[in-house]
Amino acid sequence: DVQLQASGGGLVQAGGSLRLSCAASGFTSADYAVGWFRRAPGKERERVSCINVNNVGSTYYADSVKGRFTMSVDNAKNTVYLQMNSLKPEDTAVYYCAADPVTYPLCAVGAYDYWGQGTQVTVSS
């Protein structure tokens, strides 16, 4: 079974940084994508960033996080990271990692069948 374990959320002041981790296991193919999505209170789930673990050059970032967030992959650990810098109060949300065999567009919410538990990120002003 595919399992995803997200971690790394917390409380940080505006301008601070956090790094989220998503450890994946159970994929029978090495060709899969991992995405980070978030849901703020009262809002729908939105895409944040997605990566093809075997083609990191095609990483997608939402406009709202470009230049501040960076995804990276450690294939030896089957772990994907989301480095979040210059955090803003509007980044406050529950962040979820998701994974699935690669399909395009890379970051469509509906394209991901496997989801981890959420991790809370709270940015204070």
* 31-50 pLDDT tens trace: 889 999 999 999 999 999 99
Q: 5 or 30: whose pLDDT is higher?
A: 5
Q: What share of the chain is helix, strand, coil (3-state, %, to 5)?
A: 5, 55, 40
| CA pair distance 35, 38, nearest whole angstrom | 10
Give residue 7's Cα distance to chain centre. Answer: 10
Q: Check residue 114 and report its DSSP letter.
A: E
CB 26 within 8 A of CB 123: no
Per-residue pLDDT at 102: 87
State both tokens at 85. 């810098």
Per-residue pLDDT at 56: 82
Per residue in 56-104, pLDDT (tens digit) is 888 999 999 999 999 999 989 999 999 999 999 999 999 999 999 888 8
